[in-house]
Amino acid sequence: MENQELEILFQQKIDREEKIEPKDWMPEAYRKHLIRQISQHAHSEVIGMQPEGNWITRAPSLRSKVVLLAKIQDEAGHGLYLYSAAETLGVTRDEMLNALHEERAKYSSIFNYPTLTWADIGAVGWLVDGAAIVNQVSLQRTSYGPYSRGMVRICKEESFHQRQGYEIMAHMAQGTPEQKAMAQDALNRFWWPSLMMFGPHDSDSAHSAKAMRWKIKRETNDELRQKFVDKTVQQVEVIGLTIPDPELKWNEEKGHYDFGEINWDEFYNVISGNGPCNKQRLSHHKKAHDNGAWVREAAEAYARKKQKSVAA
């Protein structure tokens, strides 16, 4: 069959809500789009461990330390599911990591902000994982089978992450005036970068239209951002904090909250490598990767040895 015919059948399959599987025919642009999106997602899970790892040794109690450790381990697992999902599209783990290290691949800009206080760990779990959930719940219905199934599992773990963060914030907001101020300060610093996680406005988003037609994305950046704002406002009120946005207001007619404009200069500045921690995040990742070389070599040697004994 000609490519054009194949492409029509491919689109019909998507329109029937059937999943595309690794061995199915797919347009090259669909494959490329997915590799970019899934590897970017995987990198975000893994780089996202750094700002939180910063606080493992300084967690204020044994309980909070155990919870934080479990949460960060989950994120490593999410990275692994996603790298595996991307590998089904014909790209190798090495290629993806090289792209990250050579700054050809991106990860979520939120992880280029520092975690300065314990309250920041609360804000990250609550807002950053909270924003990620909104996106990932939607991606459970993405058209590519392995990505969709990975998301189902990831979402189950994300709701625990969101609650661990909210619990920290709730405790601090009900603590001493200093603790409450610390919680408010963390909310002030993480609110806008969390809204940036959904990406540019739909009108400025280069890849959006195609991704929607192929049902890689099921909802647009602006729709997802609105959902996040709507569900978070009440959570903020319950613990007595304030969202740092004077324009935030319930819009009766729309049935949604109106909110202020994001500082897009900051967004593009951080995305292009000039955020407060970009250099630190990348060099730490490279170092950890290099330090782990002996583990990969040992695993390969063991696999060869096992293969030989099976053959014998």
- Closer to Fe ion by CB, 78 or 225: give it: 78
The contacts of residue 298 (CB under 8 Å, 6+ apart) are none
Mapping DSSP to helix (H, G, I), strand (E, B) and coil, where does residue 251 land? strand
Q: Are 159 and 74 in contact (CB under 8 A)?
A: no
- Closer to Fe ion by CB, 75 or 219: give it: 75
- Residue 285 touches Fe ion, criterion: CB under 5 A: no
Shortest Cβ distance from residue 154 to Fe ion (Å)?
Answer: 6
Among all chains, which residue has been given the structure tokens 């189950």? 156
Stretch that binds Fe ion, among 70-78, 80-88, 254-262, 266-274 (CB under 5 A): 70-78
- Closer to Fe ion by CB, 75 or 87: give it: 75
Site string for Fe ion, 9-28 (x = CB under 5 A): --------------------
- Residue 161 touches Fe ion, criterion: CB under 5 A: yes
In angstroms, the CA 34 to CA 207 distance is 11
In angstroms, the CA 124 to CA 129 distance is 7
Helices (H), the chain: 3-15, 28-47, 49-53, 62-87, 93-101, 118-123, 129-139, 145-173, 177-196, 208-213, 221-238, 264-269, 278-291, 293-311
- Residue 129 touches Fe ion, criterion: CB under 5 A: yes
Among all chains, which residue has been given the structure tokens 């924003």? 131
- Residue 52 touches Fe ion, criterion: CB under 5 A: no
Shortest Cβ distance from residue 157 to Fe ion (Å)?
Answer: 7
Shortest Cβ distance from residue 70 to Fe ion (Å)?
Answer: 11
- Closer to Fe ion by CB, 10 or 122: give it: 122
Pull the structure tokens for residue 152: 């189902």
- Closer to Fe ion by CB, 45 or 120: give it: 45
Out of 33, 41, 43, 78, the only residue in the binding site for Fe ion (CB under 5 A) is 78
- Residue 41 touches Fe ion, criterion: CB under 5 A: no
Residues making contact with Fe ion (CB under 5 A):
45, 75, 78, 129, 158, 161
